[in-house]
Amino acid sequence: MLRVKDLKVKYGVIEAVRGIDFEVKAGEIVTIIGANGAGKTSTLNAIFNVVKKEGYVEFVEADISKIPTHLIVKRGLALVPEGRKIFINLTVEENLRIGAYLNDENYERLRDEMYELFPRLKDKKDNYGGSLSGGEQQMLAIARALMSEPKMLVLDEPSLGLAPKIVKDVFQILVNLNKEKDVTILLVEQNAGAALRIANRGYVMENGSIVLEDDAKALLQSEEIKKKYLGG
């Protein structure tokens, strides 16, 4: 579904992404794990053409390397950005409305679907985004991205700043979306343990390069991964 070839991102002399290749097949949950600064966010921003890049990106058999961000979203690829980036001065419902800006004729149906998926958001529909807990804000960010009815959801560190129990809840929602709504998922995470437990496959990123790829189960059992990313 998504194919990335020889992707490079440079900020002046800093090579944040050094020619990486990876793919996500329809129906999969794939994770890219790596430490802070490994180049994960730059990779996602490059796919969405939010930063300048070199290389090739294909989505559902079409070259999207050079098309603008809103047209990428229109093709069915949606991003839940790092730090959630919800609108704190707008209500939950207004945040969802913005998520449907390319899909306005379906707004009410989609909003109701989101309230079914995330009952807490329904309870808080008139509350300001900024008044929600971290977990609720993450759920709102996911719901907002789903308002474009994506075939594939890309998430940048959704576990950041959340308590382990809340991480579990958020990741369970991703599993349900994947199984029940047929949403393919690319999950970028520093929390390697949580990500590998729900993923089918994983890539390990270090210093702008992919240094390892395998089934998620194999990565979870690898001594090297345990030592470096899973706290021994």
- CA torsion, ordered 97, 98, 100, 102, to nearest 10 deg: 140
Task: From 35-43, 87-95, 136-144, 172-180, give the range in contact with ligand ATP by CB under 6 A.
Answer: 35-43
Task: From 11-19, 111-119, 133-141, 211-219, give the range in contact with ligand ATP by CB under 6 A.
Answer: 11-19
Nearest-angstrom CA–CA distance, 67 and 39: 22
Distances (CA, A) of 228 to 55, 126, 231: 29, 44, 7
Q: Are 216 and 28 in contact (CB under 8 A)?
A: no
Does position 42 interact with ligand ATP (CB under 6 A)? The reply is: yes
Contact residue for ligand ATP among 2, 22, 40, 129 (CB under 6 A): 40
Binding residues for ligand ATP restricted to 64-83, rule: CB under 6 A = 82
Does position 53 interact with ligand ATP (CB under 6 A)? The reply is: no
Q: Which of 213, 150, 214, 157 is nearest to 184 (CA)?
A: 150
Q: Are 34 and 205 in contact (CB under 8 A)?
A: yes
Q: Which is nearer to ligand ATP, 52 or 109 (CB)?
A: 52
Does position 158 interact with ligand ATP (CB under 6 A)? The reply is: no
Binding residues for ligand ATP restricted to 178-197, rule: CB under 6 A = 190
Does position 38 interact with ligand ATP (CB under 6 A)? The reply is: yes
Q: Which is nearer to ligand ATP, 103 or 209 (CB)?
A: 209
CA-based max dimension of the chain: 51
- Smallest distance from ligand ATP to CB 15, Å: 8
DSSP class per residue in 177-198: HHHHS--EEEEEES-HHHHHHH
Binding site for ligand ATP (CB under 6 A): 11, 14, 16, 34, 36-42, 82, 190
